[in-house]
Structure 1
Amino acid sequence: MKNNANNSFQNTRIREIDFLRGFAILAVIAIHSSTNFSKIFYLNSLVIFNLFIDVFSQYGVPLFIFISGFVLSNKYYGLFSVKEFYKKRVISIIPQYLLFSILYISFFAILSNNLPSFSEIILKILTANSAIHMWFFLTITGFYIFYPVIICIYSHFDERNNLFTFLMLSLIIQVTWSISALIIETGGYEPLFIYLAKRIFIPYLFYFVLGIYVSKNFHFVYAYMESIKKYKVILLLILALITIIISFFWIVGFGYYVKGFDSFYSMSTLYFIIPVIIEVLYYPLIFFLLFEASSKIMKRENLLTSIMYSLGRHSFGIYLVHFFFITLIIIQLEHFNIYSDNWVFYPILFVGTTLLSLLSVSLISNLPFGELVIGGTGNKKSI
């Protein structure tokens, strides 16, 4: 579909996006809650269950990237001021990023009673490594920097009615880069180099371009999704099967860990090439089903609708603060002798982190200059 067929859609609000953000942030919290299974030194049903949760929830960041491509291209397409674009991008994330980088560095320094040197602090800020989840800012900043180039290339293919080629090129580039990063890691390169290779925007390029495509061809894509709704059960079964297949690789990997390897991630990273290839087709399937779920949820007026809407509207702020609460809740649970080898540990950690993060961000957003602390809400944000 050509762009002029979607002009009426430009800058309009798609409520499903808020709910998709809600699903994305829940997935991120689920990942950081379930990943504590790696502290268990034997393979059991609790480990396997959390492996499944962890594997399935990995769609969180790709979905945020997809939404970023969708929202940015809905607002910045065709003729727009690149200078103004960069100015708004800087204002939208840099103040929050710097503030929370410093807060997390200070937080972990207090907990560990180990103050990092000035050079270590600068390095952590420059590499988005102040906390385990802050790497996302490195990725999204890359997309912001190269967005004018990406959208220009997209327009070039669009004008020639050849968008499928660009989608496939972005997919191939993403998969090739990700596999290359695994090979580089196996080669024993410096950890910082490997970290940067995995965290720059290229390993997520396809999801971003897919977001642009759906935004610029929304009515066509929506009609297509409507036509395949009757196959939802089959899609769910395929989704479950793929989750099991990818989880199998991680279960075997954990088996190596149990046998005495120094780390859960110590086996050859080349082993995970197959999941890397599968995931690039797996996540768009999840996006589709979550969009379908979002469409149904937003039509109902109940508590679930309100919670999911609030999670989506405040997802940026929740992303920023949630790891504070994960860390603090784990400390408190351990005071009550509830550790990661206890089934109760995980639902308490997930639910507690979600509710406390939502409550704190909701309160902060109502304070003067709250937006400078935890960002704007809803479609004001591209993530």
Structure 2
Amino acid sequence: MVWFREVEYMRGFAALAVIAVHVSMNYTRIPAVNLLALLDLFIYIAAHFAVPVFIFVSGWVLAARYRGDRSPGEFYRRRARTILPPYLFFTAFYLVVRVEGTIGFAGVPSLARVAEALLLGTAAYHLWFFALIIQLYLLFPLIVRGYDLFDRAGTALFLLFSLFLIQILWNAGAHLAGAYLGPEWYTVLIRLFPSHLLYFVLGIHVARHTDDCRSAFRSVPPGWVLVAAGAGALLLGGVWVASVIHYGSLTGTTLAVFCIYRVLEPLYYVPVIAVLVLAAWRLDGAGWRGAGATRSFGEHSYGIFLVHPLVIAAAATLWFSLTGLSWADWPTYPVVFIAAVLGSYAAVRGLSVVPYAGWLLGEPRVRRGPLQ
């Protein structure tokens, strides 16, 4: 398996970013547009590289593992064992346990609500990822064959550029459809595989050209890659901050801002992926004590992804009851973030020794992430 150790570091970075997104998203509960709300909004936007990184790693590892010597039936059986038990269990769990802001009982769901949750991943705010990754798993044999056709013709980079344009048009079109045809159109379109296909195929490209990609990464000064990623974060976050300041709220933001965001986001996410690859190399080669903790966090990233909304909601509920503070107060965000990181990791490590619990955490045999 090429770059396997670096993959776990990248999963760890992405899992930390997911938690940052889902803690900072509570800026919408702050009644006024103040400095705290704007800072949380910036973090919320800047940390959205998490899902593209997970998708990239998925394409990378799958393409490295399945090189035509395994049958599609074996591939689908392995993917089904990895993803379906946790998805079904946590969909059922989050349908009855509310984790929006604080923890509570959501009531008994209707059959229509259950069907929607299973098809679109709407039982909780993070499960939409499963609706997306299941499509990519199902289409992987076709996608990788299509990539190989372009690669053998020497036009793999043309394919990546084409997917860059297609993805931008698709995601901007999803906002247009949501604005003019109804919000349900956006909900569906943004969960379909073209919305993230570029990152998946980019991972396949890295798997097919590992040595060339290593050389390319090393030929570029790390400082320039970091500057590109930082500039992208400032640009994307700045667009949203400026919009909220101008319009007074996120809901008042115009459709044009949403479309501009969709145009700019790949220009930010691709440099971030490069930065994380370089950071993973440095961590793995430096022997720093914290590197092991980061890698272990990545090894358990699937389980952490599944349980972290519950830990965030429980930590916030306890914090509010003990201190009388709310999501409108500064100390809440770092406290809940740290509690979510440590609590999610501890919960997954604890559950991993419970018989059969690994099947519900996507770790039936080894403690690795979902995207392999």
Q: Verify same fold: TM over 0.5.
A: yes
Verify the 8 A CA contact 2:27 2:40 in the aligned structure 1.
yes
2:183 paired with 1:196:
no
Distance 1:244 1:29 in 2: 20
* Alignment match, 1:85: 75
Cα deviation, residue 241, structure 1: 2.5
Distance 2:13 2:96 in 1: 30
* Alignment match, 1:4: none
* Alignment match, 1:359: 346
2:324 paired with 1:337:
yes
Distance 2:334 2:361 in 1: 26
Cα deviation, residue 59, structure 1: 0.4
Correspondence list, 1:222-371, <5 A: 222-228=214-220, 231-255=221-245, 258=248, 264-335=250-321, 336-371=323-358
- Which of residues 1, 7, 17 is equivalent to 1:17? 7
Verify the 8 A CA contact 2:8 2:299 in the aligned structure 1.
yes
* Alignment match, 1:100: 90
Paired-residue identity, %: 29
Distance 1:152 1:238 in 2: 32
Distance 2:279 2:112 in 1: 47
In structure 2, give the amino acid aligned to 1:347: P
Q: 1:100 to 1:380 in 2, by over 3 A?
A: closer
* Alignment match, 1:141: 134
Distance 2:354 2:82 in 1: 17
Verify the 8 A CA contact 2:229 2:269 in the aligned structure 1.
no
Distance 2:145 2:288 in 1: 43
Aligned to 2:196, what secondary structure does the other structure show? helix
Distance 2:2 2:368 in 1: 10
In structure 2, give the amino acid aligned to 1:355: L
Verify the 8 A CA contact 1:77 1:151 in the aligned structure 2.
no
Verify the 8 A CA contact 1:246 1:275 in the aligned structure 2.
yes
Cα deviation, residue 150, structure 1: 0.6
Distance 2:352 2:307 in 1: 13
In structure 2, give the amino acid aligned to 1:114: G
Distance 1:306 1:133 in 2: 27
Distance 1:182 1:86 in 2: 32
Deviations along 1:313-333, one digit per CA (max 9) or x if unpaired, are: 000000000000111111122
2:120 paired with 1:151:
no
Q: 1:381 to 1:127 in 2, by over 3 A?
A: closer
Could you tell me which runs of 5 or more consecutive residues in structure 1 were left unpaired when the two chains were aligned: 1-10
* Alignment match, 1:62: 52
In structure 2, give the amino acid aligned to 1:311: F
* Alignment match, 1:170: 163
* Alignment match, 1:45: 35
- Which of residues 108, 114, 136 is equivalent to 1:115? 108
Q: 1:267 to 1:188 in 2, by over 3 A?
A: farther
2:368 paired with 1:382:
no
Cα deviation, residue 273, structure 1: 1.6
Cα deviation, residue 346, structure 1: 0.7
Cα deviation, residue 257, structure 1: 5.8
Q: What is the Cα-based RMSD across aligned positions, in Å? A: 1.9
In structure 2, give the amino acid aligned to 1:205: L
Verify the 8 A CA contact 1:249 1:272 in the aligned structure 2.
no
* Alignment match, 1:215: 207
* Aligned residue-pair number: 366
Aligned to 1:59, what secondary structure does the other structure show? helix
Distance 2:253 2:47 in 1: 22
In structure 1, give the amino acid aligned to 2:165: I
Aligned to 1:58, what secondary structure does the other structure show? helix
In structure 2, give the amino acid aligned to 1:207: Y
Q: 1:12 to 1:271 in 2, by over 3 A?
A: closer
Deviations along 1:95-124, one digit per CA (max 9) or x if unpaired, are: 010001111112129824532223322322
